[in-house]
Amino acid sequence: MLAALAGVLVAPPARAKGPSCPTAQRAHLVRDRPEELLACRGSVAPIDRVWAARALASLGRHAEAAQLFASLRQALPALAVELSEAAAKACSAAGPRDARCLRYLPSVSPERRWRKAELEATRAQLALSAGDTALALRSARLATESGAKADAMDLVVLEAAAARHLESEAAKALHDLRVRFPGSFAAGEAERFVATSGAVPDVVARYPPADLARRWARWTARGGAAAVAAECPALARRARGAGIDVAQARLACAGALGTMHDPAARRMLLFASTDARMKPAALLALAHLLARGDDPKPVERQCRRLRKLGRRAFEASAECDFLAAAMVVHHGSNEAGRAALEAVERLHSGSARARDAAWLLALDDLRARPADARAEIEALVRSAADAAEKARALYWRGRARGPSDVAAARADWAQAEKLDPYGYYAWLAAARLGQVGKTGAGDRKQILAAAAMPASGIAAVQPTTSVGQAAPAAKETRFVSLLLRAGFAREAAAELQVILSPARAGALAWAPLLARADQFEMLLRVGLQQGALAACWPPAADQRRALEAAYPLAFPEALEGAPAHLDPFFLLALMRRESRFDPEATSAAQARGLLQLLPRTAARLAGELGMRPVTAGDLDDPSVNVRLAGRYVADLVARFSNPLLVAAAYNAGPRAVAAWAGSATGVPIDEWVERIPYRETRAYVKAVGGAYAAYALLYRGSRPPLSLAPLRDLPAGIAY
């Protein structure tokens, strides 16, 4: 026993086990708990040490981070450029304002065009900080010529800032900025610089015709309505001298002015309508502008002018007459509404609007003349152009048959559900058949956990394949995978944008990499191109992969910031329609981000949530955008409850929806959706509803609950 005790006494003491290097949720840890990643400095794996460098930078220890990033270049030669850039940025953040940080950057630009753009942008920023304005200007121009995004990186702002110290270049820099990037954040910064310098010239009046034409082409392509509208009058005056079609310019300007609710839009459309070529489009645009009021008579006057133009205005005339008829249905008597719809059918036979009029007439007959309704809908079943249209016809044939032949009605609904299983009418049919699930508000953790499963393509780094799917070339994926493992997600996204086409054979095998890089917009396009539109239920293995790409569990961390009682599938359905999962999407009305928030609405929501004031750029951050929009959706749910009403209110505004619903008390909600006065909102509600049902069916196994009861008086609530 003594010998044993002696052995214990002389044995070396056990070494205390230090903290281990975390292997999961590293991006989350860098943001929220970076100190936990400091243990990775002692790892033998270079990738682990990259994350330790990121943690040091997050903790404000920038000089240490710069040294660690730089020391890893030999261990990870494939990432030498990325690590050099990270080291240079960390060095700059540490405080020096001289040329030392520039030494971290490679002197030779990489071959990849997008990489050259990013590297030269960083060089320009560092050179400007160091006071080397000539290098800053040269690098900024190289970056923009290589395709860098001015809005995201403020490159042209750098160009202009560098030009402040090079007076001979200043005019050229500012001129190029306005011509090449009109309406961008960078251009706005330059305009402010000009203003502070004491001279704010009339931009349009001072441009040579060729540059004015280039500026106009880029501006209209960008769709920046607010910015375009500001210069429309001056530009329209000078359009002919710039080689721009004057009537087209006036029509485009009127569209921008109308988006901004500028009264000058009407005057501009009247000017445009004096040109014979633009007259149909101008008169229709004027009709849509006038339709914002409650009186259909001004709209009808434009429709009469369109009918006088004959066959060359056939489609515009049909659209106008249907718009006027829908206004009469909503605001006038039932008899007047029927007469207007019958006129659309008679005058525009064969057009899409004539079919829409036939639908509204059939719906109107469901109550007063059910026999007529059945005959009308039967004709629509036979003439359906595609699966979605036939599913609609079958659903409504079932509704027409329901009171007298329940078995036949159920057969129609079952057929509609099978024909277009991921569509809006399949959801309505399932609700009629009693085949919807329970609410999904409480299963957020399970849904977000599903986003981490390899089957949904979120967590796996290496692309997987299935039968019929060609594996991506190892050489193509190795670099992207390495970027992702090291936390260079933005760079991985840029590489994927270059090497992958959604129509490419085997594109579904790239789904894990696309999701890991937050490229959900491209993932959606891949799914639609690779078979999601033809999928049945239950789907085959390859069809399911396409469906998961077309309905991705996008931005799961951002969804965590939404109110806990909201079904995340509904928010995903809104995202899919609003922005197609593009975090930087910007509308003509300057709504921004995943859920397309207007800056003024976002400011109000931020105040309600006690957040700091948000800028337009903040709305490009998925977490900020979803948190703010989630609050807005929660307020809409509190007032409108039914997801179809909520979707309508998100698109058209709660005031409009409350008015439409208030005038339709007692109308079943499926009928109400078909009667929504705004065509855009009707289509929006069906698209969001279909996507919501598809998400729940795909990931939860059943469609969400849906009440089709008649509308009742709505409670007071959110009205902005």
Are residues 588 and 541 located together in one domain of the fold?
no
Spatial distance between the Cα atoms of 320 and 268, rounded to a whole number of angstroms:
19
Mean pLDDT on 224-236: 75
Examine the fold and report which residue of 550, 576, 595 is the final residue of a domain before the chain moves on: 550
Q: Are residues 498 and 518 in the same domain?
A: yes
Which CATH number characterizes residue 631's domain? 1.10.530.10
Q: Is residue 631 part of a domain?
A: yes
The whole-number pLDDT of residue 189 equals 67
pLDDT at 176 over 80: no
* 106 and 163 inside one domain: yes
Residue 698's CB: how many other CB atoms inside 10 A? 23
What are the phi and psi torsion angles at 447 (to 5°)? -65, -45
Position 332 in a domain: no
Do 38 and 166 fall within a single domain?
yes
Q: Are residues 539 and 560 in the same domain?
A: no
pLDDT for res 514:
95
User: What's the pLDDT score for residue 11?
Assistant: 42
**Overall number of domains in the chain:** 3
Euclidean distance between CA atoms 559 and 630, whole angstroms: 9
Give 522-545 pLDDT, tens digit per residue. 999 999 999 999 999 999 999 999
Per residue in 469-527, pLDDT (tens digit) is 555 667 778 899 999 999 999 999 999 999 999 999 889 999 999 999 999 999 999 99
Q: What is the mean predicted confidence (pLDDT) over 149-172?
A: 65
> Residue for token digits 């001279």?
199
Helix axes of 133-145 and 113-129: crossing angle, nearest 10 degrees: 160
Final residue belonging to a domain, choices 167, 196, 225: 196
- 581 and 664: one domain? yes
Helices of type H across 155-313: 155-163, 167-180, 185-196, 203-206, 209-222, 225-238, 246-259, 264-272, 279-290, 297-307
70-82 residues labelled b (16+ CB within 10 A) or e (exposed): bebbeebeebbbb
Which pLDDT does position 449 carry in this prediction? 61
Residue found under tokens 């369109």: 306
Residues 75 and 103 in one domain: yes
Q: pLDDT of 316-374, one tens digit each?
A: 999 999 999 988 887 767 789 999 999 999 999 989 899 889 888 998 888 778 888 88
Q: Does 595 share its domain with 661?
A: yes
- As a whole number of angstroms, the distance between CA 597 and CA 586 comes to 9
121 part of a folded domain = yes
User: Quick check: is 662 in a domain?
Assistant: yes
CATH number at residue 104: 1.25.40.10
> Are 55 and 165 part of one and the same domain?
yes
Task: Out of 511, 534, 550, pick the residue that ends a domain.
Answer: 550
Q: Which tokens belong to 96?
A: 């020096």
Quote the pLDDT of residue 595: 98
Are residues 690 and 667 part of one domain? yes
Asked whether residue 707 is domain-assigned, the answer is: no
pLDDT of 233 reads 76
Mind listing the pLDDT tens digit for each residue in 455-464?
Answer: 333 233 344 4
The answer to whether residues 474 and 600 belong to one domain is: no
| pLDDT given at position 425 | 98
Q: How confident is the model at residue 107, as a pLDDT?
A: 87
pLDDT in tens, 124-155: 889 888 888 888 888 888 888 887 776 545 56
Q: What digits encode the pLDDT tens for the residues 441-453?
A: 555 666 666 665 4
| Model pLDDT, residue 225 | 73
Residue 294 resides in a domain: no
List the structure tokens of 99: 């040329």
* pTM for the full predicted model: 0.85
**Domain extent for 651:** 556-700
pLDDT the model gives residue 593: 96
Q: How far apart are CA 295 and CA 287, in angstroms?
A: 11
Tens of pLDDT along 393-412? 999 999 999 888 999 999 99
Across the range 681-704, mean pLDDT stands at 96
For residue 16, the model assigns a pLDDT of 45
Asked whether residue 488 is assigned to any structural domain, the reply reads yes
Three-state DSSP string of 267-314: HHHHHHCCCCCCHHHHHHHHHHHHCCCCCCHHHHHHHHHHHCCHHHHH
Note whether residue 281 is domain-resident: no
Q: Do 83 and 181 have their domain in common? A: yes
| Mean of the per-residue pLDDT values of the chain | 86
Q: Is the pLDDT of residue 578 over 50?
A: yes
User: Please, which pLDDT band fits residue 617 given cuts at 50, 70 and 90?
Assistant: confident
